[in-house]
């Protein structure tokens, strides 16, 4: 018997992934000279190296190249969505606050649930809708006092940040629609390469110190490349809204690491809102696990009923 079911393993991966994503803020606080476009450039380069390393170790160079080719148009589309997320997030941070950016990003579960219903004809459980609304409410509560004026650059930054949840929702639908037939891990590699090429003209001349490059290597490998691969793997066993909902852990944990690693003490609203988000995530997954545990029992009961009916039915 395996220690974890596929759903439980996917759930674990989707806890690890946003936890790794959430270190971006605290690490960028310690950069010397790299800013904006250059941060995205180096982060994307190291993310591409991380994914290439994983694919090469798993499959060998020849098979890895074949896997990238086999991803086809779905892989390219997914790569474009990853590229949009990688670049829009960092550009938004150069035009508005982290709080404003994260507020906009928190609508991702709602967009994902809507697209899953519209495109995949997927029935979204009431508990998931309730958890999504509760989590979004918690995040709004977290940042309500830190919300900056939405004028000028802040408005532009928030509009750019809006590309992140849209691309995230579309990407999750692509991942679910491709199913098990297409390996979309190479899409993370393509997204990283697209992002690096897009940022190169804007990042020149490069100003990052060796200290910065070391930190950006950590971001590329452990904050971007590896956790995005974990999401791709987890998406095979979780619904698109579940993945989007669990991704909100990044928004919850980001301020915590900034507090511990950069001395940014979280406001009371952050603690209250974070409690709401955590409760929504935990209760939704507990309900999902309970539902999955009940299905085998229901099937067993139905089988017993069918068997009993066959015994007493004279026509059997």
Q: What is the pLDDT along the chain (316 residues), one digit of tens a residue?
A: 457 788 888 889 999 999 998 888 788 888 888 877 898 999 999 999 999 999 888 888 888 888 888 888 888 999 999 999 999 988 887 777 666 677 777 778 878 888 888 888 878 778 778 877 887 777 777 666 555 445 566 678 778 888 998 999 999 888 888 765 567 788 899 999 999 999 999 988 888 899 999 999 999 999 989 999 998 888 888 888 788 888 878 877 877 777 777 676 666 666 676 677 767 767 776 776 676 555 555 444 444 544 444 443 433 3
The H-assigned helical ranges of the chain are 6-21, 24-28, 36-59, 61-70, 72-95, 98-105, 108-119, 126-143, 153-161, 163-178, 185-203, 210-218, 226-234, 240-246, 249-262, 268-312
**pLDDT value of position 306:** 43
CA 5, CA 110: separation in Å to the nearest integer?
27
Can you say whether the dihedral through the CA atoms of 78, 80, 81, 82 is positive or negative? positive
CA 248, CA 277: separation in Å to the nearest integer?
8
**pLDDT value of position 303:** 47
Listed in sequence order, the residues at least 6 apart from 24 whose beta carbon sits closer than 8 Å to its beta carbon are 219, 223, 254
**pLDDT value of position 25:** 78
CA 153, CA 109: separation in Å to the nearest integer?
26
**pLDDT value of position 309:** 46
Report residue 219 as tokens. Answer: 């971001």
**pLDDT value of position 269:** 66
**pLDDT value of position 44:** 94
**pLDDT value of position 305:** 47
Neighbours of 245 (CB within 10 A): 28
Report residue 311 as tokens. Answer: 């015994």
């Amino acid at each position: 018997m395996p220690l974890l079911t596929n759903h439980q393993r996917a759930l674990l991966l989707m806890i690890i992934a946003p936890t790794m994503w959430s270190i971006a803020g605290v690490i960028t606080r310690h950069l010397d000279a790299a800013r904006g476009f250059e941060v995205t450039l180096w982060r994307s380069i190291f993310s591409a190296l991380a994914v290439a390393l994983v694919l090469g170790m798993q499959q060998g160079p020849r098979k890895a190249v074949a896997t990238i080719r086999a991803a086809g148009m779905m892989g390219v589309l997914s790569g474009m969505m990853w590229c949009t997320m990688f670049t829009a997030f960092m550009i938004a941070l150069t035009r508005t606050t982290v709080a404003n950016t994260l507020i906009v990003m928190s609508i991702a579960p709602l967009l994902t649930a809507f697209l899953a219903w519209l495109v995949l004809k997927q029935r979204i459980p009431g508990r998931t809708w309730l958890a999504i609304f509760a989590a979004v409410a918690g995040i709004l509560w977290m940042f309500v006092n830190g919300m900056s004026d939405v004028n000028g650059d802040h408005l532009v930054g928030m509009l750019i940040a809006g590309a992140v949840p849209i691309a995230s929702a579309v990407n999750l639908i692509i991942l679910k629609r491709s199913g098990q037939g297409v390996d979309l891990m190479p899409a993370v590699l393509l997204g990283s390469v697209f992002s690096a090429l897009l940022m190169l003209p804007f990042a020149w001349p490069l100003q990052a110190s060796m200290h910065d490059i070391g930190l950006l290597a950590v971001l590329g490998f452990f904050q971007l490349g590896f956790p995005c691969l974990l999401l791709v793997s987890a998406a095979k066993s979780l619904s698109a809204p579940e993945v989007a909902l669990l991704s909100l852990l990044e928004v919850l944990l980001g301020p915590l690491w900034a507090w511990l690693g950069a001395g940014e003490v979280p406001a009371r609203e952050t603690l209250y809102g974070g409690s709401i988000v955590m409760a929504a995530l935990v209760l939704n997954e507990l309900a999902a696990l309970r539902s999955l545990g009940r299905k085998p029992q229901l099937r067993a009961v139905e089988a017993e009923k069918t068997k009993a009916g066959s015994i007493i039915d004279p026509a059997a």
